[in-house]
Amino acid sequence: MSVLRARLKRLEPSHEAVRFASLLITVRDELTEKVNPNKLVAQGFTEKVAFAIQRGLRPLLEDEVLECINYNYFSELLEQVFAKLVEKGSVDGELEQMLVNLKSDPGYSRLLLKSALGLVDNVVPNVEREVLAHIVLVPLQPILKIINKVNSRLDKPTWVKSCLTCGMNYILGSYRGGFRHMVCATCGHIARVDFFYCPTCGTTDPYSMRFERSMDEPYFQIELCDKCGAYYKMVNEDILGNASEDPLLLDFATIDLDNIANSLKHRSG
């Protein structure tokens, strides 16, 4: 068992969010093997992604990219995700209602996706947008990998305040091969950044960034920006391997670091 999966297992008893994430990861892994990427998007998808990137746009937020998705097939896959979550014990009225809506109207999947990406008002008020995004993007994992490969930003440091694929704010990061990267917890896009750069406020002042590391787990690090109060959970991939390739696992397996970061913010304030 990997360090991250062992950590996730250890945190499950005391964190409801971790129990849900563990279940979602299991459902995702089961579904990913069945997804046909060629059926999921129309011909010309990659070209439209590349064109959006050339114009400096975030491809997952562009209509011309989203219109390439086969929403009938996407809806079928999303039904399976919700059905599995309910079947395996995630009994929630909102999830059950979303499943009912999907079965009665395949077009509802398009609305859920746009809501998860922040393109329309939240259609599920009692579910946090980040949680909805984690669920809704499960069937799209194969095409997210395609988008992020085309949208690679690893060659040189990038000045970015939010994910260049989906626009979500950063909370994760990694060190690999001597370089620092920000990792999108939602879609998995990775962007190389300077060592003392804070994506939230844009500062590059090394004296504004604090670093906290556990003696027991030196491969994890919290970076706290004293200028704006943002924090990032970082992992040393030269020790743990390519942990950022599974951002959902990385985010929830380090959920205890969120509490530590918030206590550090409170102490500094």
Residue 70 has pLDDT above 90, yes or no: yes
| Per-residue confidence band for 137, with pLDDT thresholds at 50, 70 and 90 | very high
What does the pLDDT read at residue 264? 75
In 3D space, the residue among 209, 167, 165, 169 whose CA is nearest the CA of residue 190 turns out to be 165
- Over residues 161-182, the pLDDT tens digits come to 999 999 999 999 999 999 999 9
Average pLDDT over the chain, rounded to an integer? 91
CATH classification number, 153-268, choose in 3.40.50.2300, 3.30.70.20, 3.90.1670.10, 3.40.395.10: 3.90.1670.10
pLDDT digits (tens, 9 = 90+) for 232-253: 999 999 988 888 899 999 999 9
Within the chain, all domains assigned CATH 3.90.1670.10 are found at: 153-268
Q: Report the alpha-carbon distance of residue 269 to residue 263 in Å, rounded.
A: 10
What ranges make up the beta strands (E) of 158-251?
172-176, 179-183, 190-193, 209-213, 220-225, 231-236
At residue 90, the pLDDT reads 59
Report residue 189's pLDDT band, with 50, 70 and 90 as the boundaries. Answer: very high
Q: How many helices (H) and strands (E) does the chain have?
A: 13, 6
Tokens in use for 144? 């997210």
Residue with more model confidence, 231 or 95: 231
The dihedral sign for the CA sequence 237, 239, 240, 241: positive
Give dist(CA 183, CA 4) in Å, integer: 16
Between the alpha carbon of residue 261 and those of residues 218, 237, 258, the distances in Å are 16, 20, 5
